[in-house]
Amino acid sequence: MRAVLAVASECAPLIKTGGLADVVGALPAALAPLGWGVRVLLPGYPAVLRALAQGGPAGATADGPDAVAREGALYDVVAREDDLYGGPARVLAARVGALDLLVLDAPHLFDRPGTPYLDAEGRDWADNDLRFAGLSWMAARIAAGAMEGWRPEVVHLHDWQAALAAVYAREMGARAGTLMTVHNIAFHGLAPGARRGALRLPEAGFHPGGYEFFGHVSALKAGLVWADRISTVSPTYAHELTSPDFGMGLDGVIRARADVLTGILNGVDTEVWDPATDPHIRPFRTARGKAANRARLLSAFGLEDGPGPLCIVVSRLTEQKGLDLLLEALPALTGRGGRLALLGTGERALENAWLSVAGRNRSVAVRIGYDETLAHRMFAGADAVLVPSRFEPCGLTQMYGLRYGAIPVVGMTGGLADTVIHASEAALRAGVATGLQVFPIDAHALAHALARLCDLHARPDIWARLQRNAMRSPVGWDASAPRYAALYDDLAAGA
């Protein structure tokens, strides 16, 4: 088995704030049959260390000569660092379920309340730059041989939190090839330019052709410039990133490296997200089996049934996700007897706006927060899932919808455009439609799509065909994992 080190700030099911965690958690299993063994380097947040202590979702094991028991957990201490940006650190190796983990145990960086990125008040940690520089530094040290008996041929860096590893690995003379995957270019990992010394970055790289971004350090830009190869999470998003409208100030960097850029569509874990075996729902194999779950969903949100479709939103509440547009377009759904159940958290103004609508409109129910079990039940019971994003690198929500027969209504952008076949008259006649795409992505077009959704829902024969098509859509890793394996092959050959 050939060796890959994946470096990420989150990984399902141990720690998750979004789709990044799902991808990092699912990709290793998809790559194993292709000859690539992936070890995931993850920060030692309290939740991750608790998972080790409790045996993880499916058991944690380690059996090397340095195996240590702490609070009932077994792990190997496989690397140490005396001063990792302000304190000592260890790398702990353990297997949790199907995941081969390396956990960066650095309490001064990661042992704190809140989310991986925010404190308990919802504010960015002031030292996020140092925290994830520490993760990147240890990744580079492992690539350079810090672990006895194991050295990766490829280091796969996910988003800005891991991006500085491309610089550090080059500086340390590591031979591994580096792949930088952009899950969302909107997040750069910026730090004041004066902190470049504290971040242990080479002074010679602080210029517009290096990691400098308008006087700041940009961790993501560093990864884009220093990595051997770049990938994004859908073919359409790869193209979009070369334009000023989507490149978030880094489109010039992307265009300059277009020869090493690849767009590879994400997949979902089809074992975790399987309506026939999902332990959180009443299992079903065809859309006819959704009825019991639909009734359960209505009850859970306190909604009365109506003649229109039962729609869901499971999302971060942000402007990117277009949920302000949905507020404006909502009468096109509820005015036709549609219902909406929303689960999400995010910008306070949007949270309050949605709570206000739910207080006035008995066709709308809102839960602020996130609940993984409830999310499964929502997809199982919904007629449709609404994803009106202004931009979406890949998106997994629409794939969960397809898998569970919840018809996606999506903005025509990024991976949403790559995964949903629009129910045009031609696609309906050909029998291939799986959802609705919104373009342009504005409130007027979204209202038209919601009205169209209601029209299709009112025609049982067409609706049943849409659901059958949706549930047969390929949303797993079967096509994408071989593309990653091919990238790894090229990187290892050139390292």
Based on the domain organization, do 455 and 385 belong to the same domain?
Answer: yes
Give CA–CA dist 178/390, Å, rounded.
Answer: 30
Based on the domain organization, do 115 and 187 belong to the same domain?
Answer: yes
**What integer is the mean pLDDT of 455-483?**
97
Based on the domain organization, do 8 and 111 belong to the same domain?
Answer: yes
Give CA–CA dist 249/119, Å, rounded.
Answer: 28
Based on the domain organization, do 245 and 351 belong to the same domain?
Answer: no
pLDDT at 232: 97
Pull the structure tokens for residue 167: 């610089």
**Residue 213 pLDDT > 80, yes or no?**
yes
pLDDT at 441: 98
Per residue in 224-234, pLDDT tens? 999 999 999 99
Based on the domain organization, do 49 and 137 belong to the same domain?
Answer: yes
Based on the domain organization, do 332 and 260 belong to the same domain?
Answer: no
Instruction: Reduce the DSSP state of residue 322 to 3 states and report it.
Output: coil
Based on the domain organization, do 351 and 207 belong to the same domain?
Answer: no
User: CB 327: neighbour CB atoms within 10 A?
Assistant: 16
Q: Is residue 273 one of the residues assigned to a domain? A: no
More confident residue, 370 or 224: 224
Q: Is residue 187 one of the residues assigned to a domain? A: yes
Q: Show Cβ contacts of residue 495 under 8 Å, excluding neighbours closer than 6 positions.
A: 153, 154, 175, 176, 177, 228
Based on the domain organization, do 464 and 489 belong to the same domain?
Answer: no
**Residue 72 pLDDT > 70, yes or no?**
no
**What integer is the mean pLDDT of 245-252?**
96
**Residue 19 pLDDT > 70, yes or no?**
yes
**Residue 35 pLDDT > 60, yes or no?**
yes
Q: Is residue 45 one of the residues assigned to a domain? A: yes
Pull the structure tokens for residue 487: 């990238």
Contact call for residues 64 and 94 (beta carbons, < 8 A) = no
Q: Please report the beta strands in 186-330, taking only residues with DSSP state E, as ranges in sequence order.
A: 190-192, 212-213, 216-218, 229-232, 261-263, 310-317
Token pair 């859309």 in the structure block, residue: 287
Based on the domain organization, do 209 and 107 belong to the same domain?
Answer: yes
User: CB 252: neighbour CB atoms within 10 A?
Assistant: 12
**Residue 174 pLDDT > 50, yes or no?**
yes
pLDDT at 432: 98
**What integer is the mean pLDDT of 79-103?**
95
Q: Is residue 274 one of the residues assigned to a domain? A: no
- Strand pairing category for 436-438 and 407-411: parallel
Q: Is residue 426 one of the residues assigned to a domain? A: yes
Based on the domain organization, do 81 and 185 belong to the same domain?
Answer: yes
pTM of the model: 0.92
Based on the domain organization, do 484 and 422 belong to the same domain?
Answer: no
Max Cα separation, the chain?
Answer: 67
pLDDT at 58: 36
pLDDT band at 451 (very low <50, low <70, confident <90, very high): very high
pLDDT at 436: 98
pLDDT at 55: 59
Average pLDDT, the chain: 94
Phi, psi of 194 (to 5 degrees): -65, -15
Q: Which of 197, 191, 186, 140 is nearest to 164 (CA)?
A: 140
pLDDT at 121: 83
Domain of 364: which CATH number? 3.40.50.2000
Contact call for residues 166 and 157 (beta carbons, < 8 A) = yes
**Residue 63 pLDDT > 80, yes or no?**
no
**Residue 54 pLDDT > 80, yes or no?**
no
pLDDT band at 88 (very low <50, low <70, confident <90, very high): very high
Give CA–CA dist 471/407, Å, rounded.
Answer: 9
Per residue in 188-208, pLDDT tens? 999 999 999 999 999 999 999
Q: Is residue 310 one of the residues assigned to a domain? A: yes
pLDDT at 56: 47
Residue 321 in marked binding region: no
Instruction: Reduce the DSSP state of residue 304 to 3 states and report it.
Output: coil
**What integer is the mean pLDDT of 231-253?**
97
Q: How many domains would you assign to the chain?
A: 2
pLDDT at 60: 39
pLDDT at 75: 84
pLDDT at 246: 96
**Residue 6 pLDDT > 60, yes or no?**
yes
Q: Is residue 279 one of the residues assigned to a domain? A: no
Q: Is residue 278 one of the residues assigned to a domain? A: no
Domain that holds residue 39: 2-267+478-494
Based on the domain organization, do 349 and 377 belong to the same domain?
Answer: yes
**Residue 66 pLDDT > 70, yes or no?**
no
